[in-house]
Structure 1
């Protein structure tokens, strides 16, 4: 793995990690499902000019439309719905643990569906990364808020994202990851808006149009969601879904440190140990450290 791809995936981890904190803040101003629709529409608008890059608009190959629709369905529409419902129905501890299973399930699924090899390095990276996440979530005391239904929804959120990642890998055989990202957002955004209109009689709360919430909403939509998706899908194209998924273990760690910075949440020694384990797991599983030493 070269430095450019490594930096790209690290950027995704930071963008998505701080996005958790931003979305948590934005739910004070917008209902969760309404917020998902608003964010995806803004992201789709932001991404739209990219279909003309670099040589103007070109038709999408017919074979690519199936994977693109799969990304729209699994990575965006179903993932946003199950994530919003699941986080509200179970504890943050259980939610983090279930989402942390993503690298394991992605690696197993990719070895079957898209013939990505399951290596000892990847297995060790998954183990270290999951251990790091465990150190984070076992320090929380909200497990009593968990429900079986909520855990099931969060498991579904993780599984649909795995399915979407495999669709990205498949679609990249026919067209550029940027094209997949743009069209999947354009397809999914209207359906999320329609769902939001059905389930939310009120779309905004008091203070939603003040400068600070608007600034957070735009950064979350344009950079964490839109740009993050472009970088993520490009990474999957270059290094595969299973290797890319190992970076996701860094997301809760970044979210934790962002919460400490912006929300004044307290850090303890387990959190720093978790950071070390996740970094070791990503370095070992992706071969990033060895690649950087050779460069």
Structure 2
């Protein structure tokens, strides 16, 4: 597959993921968030397995793989989706999308702590810029730390949990197809979320009785296009162009979240959001190691001998 085609696929995925923040905001305002999320993730997981079954990629997990996938799912699906859906009931899609943009940066920080990755001066600069960017967004107009939105904190916990899951996923991805791993995590996480919803939202199932066709279109588009197909395409792209190049496209995610919030929800995009986005953008590029990896690739190509 040509790189241009892979880049186009990644660009499409970032549009889907960015707009999915807006879609989730709409869904949690019309359904009880945890119940809705459990059902949405279950539909996503079943969609992944349906596609993989056609591709003949489905197999059972080994005992070791099951342990990693289970705990990865607790972070990647249960904690991430729980705090994301709950957080979006208490903050704007604009703030949520920008804070979610910290994902690659938080993954890099956790890789340094748990996987022994090297912390260079360039990465430190990126981490500082990313933290500054999200701080500006969270504290904007809140009157200081005492006025920070609980929703913003939940969104941050959400993306931190997802970043932690990537550390576990990395340990099992050598033997297990990332797409199949995604399917198992989605199904396991959906089941756990559903049991949580039974206690937290006793009327949750009743809240899903909505006859709005448009709302259900958003529900299934979020579940199938953004979550199921989006994650499968992104994981597949990593195998083709590498994690560093694929992660560069993640910088478009908060941008499309801003666009979606402005177009579909009418949220105001202020100067502080643009400034925060720019700081997070440069923070992710530098702090995630993507800049250094691509720089090394360019240097290697420049030093390659010219064939005669």
TM-score, normalized by the shorter chain, greater than 0.5: yes
SS in 2 for 1:203: helix
What is the CA distance between 1:46 and its match in structure 2? 0.9
* Aligned with 1:286 (options 265, 271, 290): 290
- Structure-2 separation of matches of 1:210 and 1:115: 50
Identify which of 217, 220, 234 aligns with 2:219. 217
| Equivalences for residues 50-61 of structure 1 within 5 A | 50-52=51-53, 54-61=55-62
Match of 2:267 among 254, 265, 268: 265
Cα separation, 2, equivalents of 1:266 and 1:246: 27
Residue 66 of structure 2 is matched in structure 1 by: 65
Is 67-76 or 261-270 further displaced after alignment? Answer: 261-270
Measured in 1, the distance between the counterparts of 2:106 and 2:65 equals: 24
Matching residue of 2:168: 167
In the alignment, is residue 255 of structure 1 matched against residue 257 of structure 2?
yes
| Structure 2 residue 47 is matched with structure 1 residue 46 | yes
Secondary structure of the structure 1 residue equivalent to 2:175: coil
CA contact (8 A) 1:44 1:186 kept: yes
Counterpart of 1:178?
179
Change (3 A) 1:207 1:292: farther
Structure 1 residue 131: Cα displacement: 4.1
Q: Which has the larger Rg?
A: 2
Is there any run of 5+ residues in structure 2 with no aligned partner, and where?
303-308
Q: What is the CA–CA distance in structure 2 between the aligned matches of 1:183 and 1:197, rounded to whole Å?
A: 22
What are structure 1's unaligned runs of at least 5 residues?
none
Aligned positions, number:
292
Q: Distance in 1 between matches of 2:95 and 2:28?
A: 20
Q: Does the Cα contact within 8 Å between 2:100 and 2:254 map onto a contact in 1?
A: no
Cα distance in 2 between the residues matched to 1:206 and 1:183 = 25
- Paired residues of 1:100 and 1:130 also in contact (CA < 8 A): no
Distance 1:255-1:64 versus aligned 2 partners, 3 A rule: same
Moved more, 260-269 or 229-238: 229-238
Which whole-Å deviations, capped at 9, do the CAs of 1:119-145 have from their partners, x for residues lacking one? Answer: 344333344444444554455559776
Alpha-carbon contact 1:61-1:174 (below 8 Å) kept: no
RMSD: 4.0
Inter-CA distance 30–239: structure 2 relative to 1 (3 Å threshold): same
Q: Deviations over 1:146-183 (max 9, x none)?
A: 46x76765554343222211122112011110111011
Measure, in 2, the Cα distance between the counterparts of 1:83 and 1:20: 9
211-220 or 266-275, larger mean C-alpha shift: 266-275
TM-score of the pair, normalised by structure 2: 0.74
Q: Which moved more, 1:68-77 or 1:202-211?
A: 202-211
Query: Is the 1:107–1:243 Cα contact (8 Å) retained in structure 2?
Result: no
Contact 1:93 1:142 in 2 (8 A): no
Contact 2:130 2:283 in 1 (8 A): yes
